[in-house]
Chain A
Amino acid sequence: MMIESSNLAPRLGIFARVLAALFGGYALAYCFTAFLSVYLPLIRADRVVYASLGCFAVWTAAAIYAFGARSATRAWLVIGGLALLLGLAAFLPAELGARP
């Protein structure tokens, strides 16, 4: 059964959204957790716990957005962009995260 060309674009779009939800969403949750683990004004152990507990809400929200966004491209730009920003802010300041 051939995939007709008129079917291809929407199918690719859905596939891109699935990837955005699964992998982009996890990446965003990961960077969100790292970001809060660095910047929350708490002791180190508590920062990590609260940041981690919230990550599932972020992943869920990202997955919903991946399919609700106006286009798959936009979904990837927003989710990926946010993840990149949070990730850089979390991992660049080398010693800040490790402070007790």
Chain B
Amino acid sequence: MSLRQSMAGLHTWGGLLPIWLLFVVIFTGTLACFDKELERWMRPGLQTPGQMQMNADDVRQWLKNNVSEELHAYWMHPPTTREPYWQLGWEEHDSGERGRKLFAPATGEALPDTLGGNFFFSLHYQLHAGTFGMYVVGLAGMFMLVALVSGVIIHRRIFKDFFTLRPNANGQRAWLDGHNLFGVIGLPFHLVMAYTGVAIFVASYMPAGVQVAYQGNPLKFFHEVAGGYHREELEQPGGTPIALERLLADARAQWDGGEVGWISVHHPDDASAVVDIRRRDPSRIGSPQDTLSYDAATGELLNVQQAGTAYRAYIWMAGLHMGQFGGSLVRWLYVALGLAGCGMLIGGLQVWLRKREARGGAGIALVRSLNVAVLGGLPVACLGLLWANRLLPADWAMRQTLEGWSFSLLWLAIAGWALARRGRAGYRPLAWLAAVLALGLPLLNLLLVPQGHLLASIGRGDWALASVDLTLLTIGLLCLLWVRPRTQREARTRLAEVTP
């Protein structure tokens, strides 16, 4: 067997096996480029006007008033342009349970819980399945790397066919052209995203270094590699903590006016409590590793972080993957290239199907069903989640859970329908559903969210928020364009199908 033949087999089957999982990862990753904008969209409480200017100590006061358990640590983040809210998180000392709350800085009110844009981010890197999900996604990433490399090896005319796309050629040829176009042109992006994606969790995926150099003690490695500060608990009650805002002011002065990012307080109730203040600088690809550590009671500066070059290289790779630097242009480009990645996967599936359609077989119906279930089901379920966010009352305690159920049940229903139809389900009904859901959301906003609908956000010049509605409208229109009858005859046939 020649190299090309063996690589072709590897590419076909090694590519097909994880392809639906890879679609979920790439699609949600594409959505997650704008997770913070979606987060804002899903929290209309942010649009309520107010005069307060909440500060770090206000946030700490809320935590003191509302969480009585002893805490292992808590962390908060000041409002930014893309995330105009205070973020608060905490971990309980004994149970290890974590909590999260967002606050509108203008009113100081805790915002109602919602799955938010963070839902798509979490789905992307761990499929909402914790550590196990993280490992599954990592393995899928490895399959993608192998598929990319094997794909390049088997591509015969990689330069000559660089721009080649013949939509009118016979089915398999046209789809292969498309698969190659999206794959080859986007190759730097696909390779870099896949590699940096798995590299982010390298400490979990590859424990060999820690094993041989740190006697298998990962904590020792983490403390050494980041050059941060760590102080053991003294098991004594702590004194009155100093005002956080004083520490923030000192930090900004140390950085010559630099921005403050994450603020974390470790073992806050103990005498050894430390406040870490991390710098924020979205103009670099790698986030700055300039953490200042203060004594929580006296405000004494205990440590300035000294991160080594290797760690900064790792942070750079992570930053490259997350695309949170620069402005929205980078994220829009990542979206375009991410969609190209999805196009590459869809093209590959079509090639696989058409090659085997003539022969038939059990696999074909299953692949078709899975295609409709995942390629059609996931986007529609995402739209469903946004609908649930709008329809479920904000003050329901179960709101987050119900949002999650809405997403899952809608996806399961579509998947069930696709599998029950045994390969005969088509995309048209889903495209219609997507069009209705996508076009309906901005309208729903007009009715339910007086400050946050499209006209209001454009009126305020809030283009980040408006872009969510505008994108929804575009998606809806594109779906309608796709399902429109192409000829008069087709129009008559389609009408006859639906009228009694």
Contacts and interface: CB of A to CB of B under 8 A. Distances in A.
A45 B310 contact: yes
B236 interface: no
Given A44-B224, A45-B311, A46-B309, A51 B209 contact: yes
Contacts of A42: 310
A66 B212 CA distance: 27
Interface in B109-152: 142, 145-146, 149-150
A48 B213 contact: yes
B146 A37 contact: no
B149 A53 contact: no
B149 A37 contact: no
Given A53-B317, A63-B146, A34 B202 contact: no
A9 B149 CA distance: 27
A91 to B, nearest CB: 6
B209 A52 contact: yes
A45 to B, nearest CB: 4
Interface in B189-231: 195, 198-199, 202-203, 206, 208-215, 221, 224-225
Contact of A48 (B3, B142, B214): B214
B352 interface: no
B214 A60 contact: no
Nearest to A58: B206
A67 B213 CA distance: 33
A56 B7 contact: no
B6 interface: yes
Nearest to B10: A67
Contacts of A50: 310, 313
B199 A64 contact: no
Contacts of B6: 67-68
Contacts of A29: 206, 208
Contacts of B10: 63-64, 67
B213 A97 contact: yes
Nearest to A30: B208
B314 interface: yes
B46 to A, nearest CB: 38
A64 to B, nearest CB: 6
B202 A64 contact: no
A79 B252 CA distance: 53
Nearest to A53: B199
Interface in A13-51: 21, 29-31, 33-34, 37-38, 42-51
A59 interface: yes
Contacts of A33: 206, 208-209
Contact of B213 (A21, A47, A59, A64): A47
A57 to B, nearest CB: 8
Interface string A50-83: 1111011101100110011000000000000000
A48 B146 contact: no
Interface in B1-58: 3, 6-7, 9-10
Contacts of B208: 29-31, 33-34, 37, 51-52, 55, 90
Nearest to B142: A59
A54 B452 CA distance: 46
B393 interface: no
A57 B305 CA distance: 31
A98 B213 CA distance: 4
A42 B313 CA distance: 14
Contacts of B149: 60, 64
A52 B202 contact: yes
B15 to A, nearest CB: 13
Nearest to A93: B212
A60 B145 contact: yes
B327 to A, nearest CB: 28
B434 to A, nearest CB: 36
Contacts of B199: 53, 56
A59 B6 CA distance: 18
Nearest to A71: B1
Nearest to B314: A49
A25 to B, nearest CB: 9
B363 interface: no
B308 interface: yes
A90 B317 CA distance: 26
Contacts of B146: 21, 60, 63-64
Given A33-B206, A33-B209, A97-B213, A49 B310 contact: yes
Interface in B149-205: 149-150, 153, 195, 198-199, 202-203
Interface in B386-409: none
28 contacts: A29-B206, A29-B208, A30-B206, A31-B208, A33-B206, A33-B208, A34-B209, A37-B208, A38-B212, A45-B225, A45-B311, A49-B310, A50-B313, A51-B208, A52-B202, A52-B208, A53-B313, A53-B314, A53-B317, A55-B202, A55-B206, A57-B195, A60-B146, A68-B3, A90-B208, A91-B212, A97-B213, A98-B214
Interface of B: 3, 6-7, 9-10, 142, 145-146, 149-150, 153, 195, 198-199, 202-203, 206, 208-215, 221, 224-225, 308-311, 313-314, 317
Given A59-B142, A64-B10, 12 more contacts: A38-B212, A45-B224, A45-B311, A48-B310, A50-B310, A52-B202, A53-B314, A60-B149, A67-B9, A91-B212, A97-B212, A98-B214
